[in-house]
Chain A
Amino acid sequence: MDRYLLIVSTVCFLAAVVHTAIELRAGVFRPMRFNFFAVGLGFIFQTAFLSLRGHELGRCPLTNLFEVFIFLAWSVAAIYMLVGPGYRLSLMGAFTAPLVVILQVFALIAPIDIRHPAKLPANPWLEFHASISLVAYGVFALACIAGVMYLVQERQLKTHQLHSIFYHLPPLTDLFAAITRLLWWGFVLYTLGIVSGFFTGHPLPRVQVVAAIGVWLLYAVIIQGRHLRWLAPKRVAALCIIGFSVALTLLWGITFTTEIHQLP
């Protein structure tokens, strides 16, 4: 039953992607209403899925890689809905939806929804650590999306080739301000996630700690580079994309190889 909710949610996000593609092709790109509703509806079904799964498990649904990916997709959609309009980045829906579709389609197709035979006991610190870390990943994902938007806009301005989407993307300075804020939010949340990991009462696998600190250091360098003006905005945007790709790969690798959520 819960998988059906996820399929419906994926269809909603896919509708936003298809709608964007059709409009871009026709040169009449209008990102606002349809995309926001499609993403909003998809988000409601995602929430319903996570809620059902959470009730079933009796804890935060982060017990396998499948749930981790869905929770990450949910974080991305939730943060888009929270900060997108506030940062005047409503077009992000056109960029957010494809990322959510990729995450959810992968989670639905890959054989990674392996249920644990025994019911796992609730551990508030572990659940907080896992969920806050994934919300941080969601913020980094949005920073990555804003980075893509920045590079698209910057490229068009540099080459003097302005397409239909140019007139719908936010100004460069607004995008850069949004990237900076998202980096800070993500960094603070990720730091909280790492720190709370030490309070879970379980020994942390070394590979997980090293990877988490690696990601933390990477984002610390990007933020410092931006703050001290070592890095030009274009490089910060590119590093947001690289940073999130690295973080996502490590998240997958760690979750897949170390079975972090399997409690004794």
Chain B
Amino acid sequence: MNLFCIGLSHHTVDVATREQFGGSATAESIVRDAGCTEALLLTTCNRVEVYAVALKRISTDEIARCLMRKIDTDPHDYAPPFYRYEAEKCVQHLFRVASALDSMVLGESEILGQAKKAYESARKSGAVGPCLHRLFQRAFRVAKQVRTHTEIARGAVSVASVAVDLAQRIFGKLRDCKVLVLGAGETSERTARALISRGVSDLRVSNRSLDRACELAQAVGGSAVPFDEWAAQCREIDILITSTASETPLLTLDILAPMLRARLDRPLFIIDIAVPRDVDPRVNQMEGVYLYDIDSIRSVAEQSLALRRQQVAAAEAIIAEHVTDFVDSISRGLNRESQTGQHPSLSENSLRPSEL
């Protein structure tokens, strides 16, 4: 019995190649067409992978053919660098994938959900048997442990997520925070949506074009504020997101100082993603004001990534421990079954120790 993984990922090929594979294939079709006993197809924007169990060795080309969108094309025409991991290497690879060590953004959280979805879909179609069931359940456990016991998922790495993360570090729960979006750009909108998803209910939008402000306000469930009134809002708001096309700073020390006196015990978090900047950088020196421009947000994202990279060794150690344990547990299961002479379904589909 062979356990193997065949796939393509952002590490090995570009998106133009990746998009040629995995389109209409399902775990069920792979079991049927390639002659596997069990199969699971994991397709994300960064990878197309097949995890399978078969009684005999199945070639990489065979699996590649099952994955191709254009069924009349020979996989050799593409000759994409499919990787192939067998037995223990396959187990290790899956644990790394599920733990987001193999992801484009190290430590991202989406891959675990995608793997669970792929597993669920394959299970429903009957393509997953006891071997892949055990393997994937263990992979989910490993991923959870890696996230809990290391800082691999710590910090945020995109503008919107950094902004939300910092806002939570300042205000805690965002439910009572008042947010003003100044300038209805795409990044502002994304940031505003991210804040709303974390509980913000009072969101105001101001833009030179009131129509655009109303449009965005309606889209995100906020209210529009005329552009000449935005400065006065600084007395009330907790978070300001600015991204106008102004050539000169809109918010300066002189404008902000009198307003801060009235709100001494409430912090003001300013996210200035405009270039040139909308907020005078000296505003950050004011008591209770936390100003982040696009460079400082990127710097925070890089720090988070650096922090995550430091955790790779600890995560790999956890994975290595689980790989050994998983392989041992399979071997022990097989030995027990051979001693009792029983042949439950697991033994038929499990891996021989020699093959691991």
Contact = CB atoms under 8 A, between A and B. Distances in A.
9 contacts: A27-B151, A27-B307, A28-B150, A158-B284, A162-B155, A162-B303, A173-B170, A233-B288, A234-B287
Contacts of B304: 162
Interface in B254-301: 264-265, 267, 284, 287-288, 290, 292, 296, 299-300
B169 A166 contact: yes
Contacts of B267: 172-173, 233
B311 A232 contact: no
A27 B311 contact: yes
A172 B269 CA distance: 12
Nearest to B150: A28
Interface residues of A, number: 26
B158 to A, nearest CB: 15
Interface string A230-260: 0111100000000000000000000000000
Contacts of A233: 265, 267, 288
A27 B155 CA distance: 13
A28 B265 contact: no
Complex A-B, nearest 6 residue pairs according to Cβ-Cβ distance, in ascending order: A171-B172, A160-B296, A232-B287, A229-B264, A174-B172, A157-B290
A252 B290 CA distance: 39
B314 interface: yes
Given A158-B284, A160-B292, A167 B155 contact: yes
B327 interface: no
A176 B265 contact: yes
A157 B166 contact: yes
A157 B171 CA distance: 12
B288 A234 contact: yes
Contacts of B246: none
Chain B residues touching A, range: 20 to 34
Contacts of A170: 172
A88 to B, nearest CB: 8
Given A160-B296, A162-B300, A229-B264, A171 B169 contact: yes
Interface in A140-186: 153, 157-158, 160-162, 164, 166-167, 169-174, 176
A229 B265 contact: yes
A53 interface: no
B125 interface: no
B152 to A, nearest CB: 10
Contact of A27 (B171, B292, B300, B310): B310
A164 B307 contact: yes
Given A28-B151, A232-B287, A157 B303 contact: no
Interface in A215-238: 226, 229, 231-234
A169 B168 CA distance: 11
B175 interface: no
Nearest to A174: B172
B32 interface: no
Contacts of B265: 176, 226, 229, 232-233
B171 A171 contact: yes
Could you say which of B149, B169, B296, B307 has the most chain A C-beta atoms within 10 Å of its C-beta? B169
A232 B168 contact: no
A153 B169 contact: yes
Nearest to B288: A232
A133 B264 CA distance: 32
A146 to B, nearest CB: 14
A232 B290 contact: no
Contact of A161 (B149, B150, B303): B303
B170 A171 contact: yes
A82 to B, nearest CB: 21
A240 to B, nearest CB: 15
Nearest to B148: A30
A224 B310 CA distance: 46
Contacts of B190: none
A27 to B, nearest CB: 5
B70 interface: no
Contacts of B314: 28
Interface in B162-185: 166, 168-172
Contacts of A173: 170-172, 267
Given A30-B149, A167-B169, 18 more contacts: A28-B149, A28-B150, A28-B151, A28-B314, A157-B166, A157-B169, A157-B170, A158-B284, A158-B290, A162-B300, A162-B304, A164-B154, A166-B169, A167-B154, A171-B170, A172-B267, A173-B170, A229-B264
Nearest to B261: A229
Contacts of B154: 164, 167
Interface in A1-55: 27-30
Contacts of B303: 161-162
Contacts of B150: 28
Interface string B206-241: 000000000000000000000000000000000000
A30 to B, nearest CB: 8
Nearest to B155: A167
